Structure 1
Amino acid sequence: MPNIIFMGTPDFSVPILKDLNEAYGVDLVVSQPDKPVGRKRIMTPPKVAAAARELDIDVYQPENIKDEEAMRKLESIDPDIIVTAAYGQILPKALLELPKHGAVNVHASLLPKYRGGAPIHHAVMAGEEKTGITIMYMAEGLDSGDIISQKEIPILEEDDTGSLHDKLSRLGSELLLETLPSIFDGSNESIPQEHASATYSPNVSKEDERLDFGRPAHEVFNHIRGLSPFPGAYTKLGDKRLKIYGAKPTGEKTAKPAGEILGVHDEGFLVAAEDEALLITEVQLAGKKKTTAKEFIQNRQDLVGQSLG
């Protein structure tokens, strides 16, 4: 069996790790350091590190993968291949050149579109009709290496980043296992990316999370579902932050000012966007629990006529 180092951090990478380990065995898992989580700031391991320990795989969590100590640790494995999936640090050239069969990455977009750390969020927010997985040889640039294989899936109207994340995680695992034999025997026909066509998907910022109801309703809908279930798009209701996790375009034209709460609906409440009413279905007011918009509006019908934003 080949010596394999797997590098990943969030839950997206867990199915990929598990299936890779079952098929080939993984000799070392490299993940980001533990971080404080929640209001009590409890030190918590990344999902991949926790999964690796359950599988009885050695785990290494360096602060900086470029440190000499980290390089010595990985050299000691004498890897035939390094597989990364949402690891979160850029690998140095010396590490990319270490494995006999190279370092490959499982990336959640159809490269060269959506290079970077948040490809699923940005694809949904942009209203893309399809996305997919790319298996690529890693290079020094950000997600710029040669493409080995790709597989696409549609982005459905009912998808949000959460549902698409789960689909792409499974697809990434399947495509990796389909592709690895051609990597090990050198028979794959990898192709350079069209760098002029590259687009980027940086990690979501606080500014990205703020909603603008002055845009067309379908763009606001894409923004909301692109940030659901995490980190959540938000607007302001009076002086409080209101996160919105679920919405639907209605097709109902309106001339009311953007952001005005138009009325109560069986599934929640209606808000004016630039061109039509948007149905809000799931919300969370600052300091409160997430709830259906229907439950939220039941005792707040005086909000009709007020504005969000």
Structure 2
Amino acid sequence: MQMQSIIFMGTPQFSVPVLEGLINKGYEIKAVVTQPDKKVGRKQKITKTPAKIAAEAHDIPVYQPIKLSGSPEMAELIDMHADFIVTAAYGQFLPTKFLNSVKIAAVNVHGSLLPKYRGGAPIQYALLNGDKETGITIMEMVKKMDAGDIYAQKALKIEPDDNAGTVFEKLSYLGRDLLLETLPKIADGTVVKTPQDPEKVVFSPNIKKEQEKITTEMTASEANNLIRALNPDPGAYLMVEGKRLKVWKAEVAEDSSSLEAGCVVDNKKRFALSFADNSVLNLLELQPAGKKKMEVKNFLNGQGKKYAPGEKIVDD
């Protein structure tokens, strides 16, 4: 039997296992649509998206419109009349005209248990809010963002040492497996669709610059959740004596402190800072401005030595 044809849309690493899974299963991938290449790092090197690299490795045509809506690329894609559109973290709205051009369905692999966390940063918000679980939703695409009926869902436990990077990776494989299980049921009409409960909708818009700062109003637990949510990208930071100190890894300490928030609790055996509600955070992996990431012991041998326990070093 001829396998169904798919237009695949995805951009980051999250989308790659999903794409590879479809290829390995024998689906005909007519095109991969991904965001335009962008300049990365200090040297502003033009960098291909992970989805584009994967597509090229399999000789699949790649489309990268700056804006899909109204583009000549979209007209070409509509003319393909694929059986499915499958998206996994593509990063642009899909016009209804395009969604309606497929023979069977337009399907999205979304990194949350919808209707919780519609939007561009579902994994970050699950960590930010200290959720104990997240998951994957396979849903029907409609014009409104992440609002379509649900085909299938599977939960994933969030471990205490997980960060956005590790959760993204686990969810990409869970998403691949759940999609491959669900597509045949959509194709043969045996799938049961469940509408989302509008009362339970929670949004997770993309993280803004001002959300990256760890403040002294946070408890150690809230600060740690922010650090986990923003690792590996873009990273959370403290302002210490007017400079950014990025914190890539930390842990909530078992002890408490009567010091005001933002003070050094200990810089001998560990680098511990006081936070709101007498809580204490141990910083484990740091990156002072202009330097590389370092383990806390290296930090304590250098910059960390100059502080005195009890000294307030975090700027409000």
TM-score, structure 2 length as denominator?
A: 0.95
Q: Give 1:308's match in structure 2, choosing from 284, 295, 314.
A: 314
Secondary structure at the aligned position of 1:32 is classed as coil
- State the distance in 2 between where 1:91 and 1:229 align: 28
How many angstroms does 1:68 deviate by?
4.3
How many angstroms does 1:167 deviate by?
0.5
How many angstroms does 1:71 deviate by?
2.5
How many angstroms does 1:272 deviate by?
0.4
- State the distance in 1 between where 2:220 and 2:185 align: 46
Residue 13 (str. 1) matches residue 15 (str. 2): yes
Q: Which residue of structure 1 aligns with residue 88 of structure 2? A: 85
Q: Which residue of structure 1 aligns with residue 29 of structure 2? A: 26
1:52-71 correspondence runs (5 A)? 52-71=55-74
Q: Which residue of structure 1 aligns with residue 228 of structure 2? A: 225
Q: Which residue of structure 2 aligns with residue 172 of structure 1? A: 175
- State the distance in 2 between where 1:229 and 1:36 align: 18
Q: Give 1:2's match in structure 2, choosing from 4, 11, 19.
A: 4
Q: What are structure 1's unaligned runs of at least 5 residues?
A: none
- State the distance in 2 between where 1:160 and 1:42 align: 27
1:1-309 correspondence runs (5 A)? 1-23=3-25, 24-264=27-267, 266=269, 268-274=270-276, 275-300=278-303, 301-304=305-308, 305-309=311-315
- State the distance in 1 between where 2:249 and 2:10 align: 29
How many angstroms does 1:215 deviate by?
2.0
How many angstroms does 1:144 deviate by?
0.4
**Which moved further from structure 2: 131-140 or 283-292?**
283-292
Cα distance change, pair 141–167 in 1 and its aligned pair in 2 (3 A): same
| RMSD across aligned positions (CA) | 1.2
- State the distance in 2 between where 1:221 and 1:265 align: 21
Amino acid at match of 1:148: Y
- State the distance in 2 between where 1:204 and 1:294 align: 30
Percent identity between matched residues is 44
CA contact (8 A) 1:214 1:259 kept: no
- State the distance in 1 between where 2:60 and 2:193 align: 31
Amino acid at match of 1:308: V
How many angstroms does 1:214 deviate by?
2.4
Q: Could you report, residue by residue, the CA deviation over 1:51-87 in whole angstroms, capped at 9, with x for unpaired residues?
A: 1101111111111111241222102322000000000
CA contact (8 A) 1:12 1:165 kept: yes
Displacement over 6 Å in runs of 4+: none
How many angstroms does 1:265 deviate by?
5.2
- State the distance in 1 between where 2:248 and 2:71 align: 44
CA contact (8 A) 2:132 2:159 kept: yes
How many angstroms does 1:264 deviate by?
2.1
**Which moved further from structure 2: 257-266 or 165-174?**
257-266
- State the distance in 1 between where 2:222 and 2:31 align: 43
Q: What are structure 2's unaligned runs of at least 5 residues?
A: none
Q: Could you report, residue by residue, the CA deviation over 1:200-240 in whole angstroms, capped at 9, with x for unpaired residues?
A: 11111111101123222211111111111211101111121
CA contact (8 A) 1:138 1:145 kept: yes
CA contact (8 A) 2:285 2:293 kept: yes
Cα distance change, pair 86–265 in 1 and its aligned pair in 2 (3 A): farther
Secondary structure at the aligned position of 1:70 is classed as helix
